[in-house]
Amino acid sequence: MPHMVKEVKGSLFWMSKTPLKVGERVVLKCSTQEVACTVRGIERRIDSSTLEVLEEGAKVLENREVGEVVLSFSTALIVEDFNTTPELGRFVVEKDYTISGGGIITHLGG
């Protein structure tokens, strides 16, 4: 059953040449929902080619890196863990009106 939450943890693949920074505000789109959110943390930075952990407790996520991130929403969203309900566990992140990343929700509530 889906949950209404204001914070999630997820795996995010970053596709923008402009880095994603902790504290930055972006737009998250999940299913038919769209909400402003803040990057509360980047727990791990991972090289997308080798899956090598580059940094724990990172402040920035660079182009073509994967991050284990904590995202906090301005209003509650109806979402679910990707492994439970994939349709409600996938999201994209928009920065400066451009889709800049895509990911999956791995934990509800941050």
- For the stretch 84-108, pLDDT in tens is 999 999 999 999 999 999 999 999 9
**Confidence (pLDDT) at 76:** 94
Q: What is the mean pLDDT of residues 61-77?
A: 97
Does the predicted model carry a pTM greater than 0.75? yes
What pLDDT band is residue 109 in, cutting at 50, 70 and 90?
confident
- Look at residue 30 and tell me whether its pLDDT is greater than 70: yes
Return the pLDDT at 1: 75
Give strand ranges (E) for the chain: 3-14, 20-21, 25-30, 33-47, 53-58, 60-61, 65-79, 90-95, 98-108
pLDDT for res 20: 98
Could you give the CA distance from residue 110 to residue 76 in angstroms, rounded to a whole number?
A: 13
- Two structure tokens written together for 29: 């789109």
% of the chain residues with pLDDT over 90? 95
What pLDDT, on the 0 to 100 scale, is given for residue 2?
Answer: 83
Q: Give the pLDDT band (50/70/90) at residue 110.
A: low
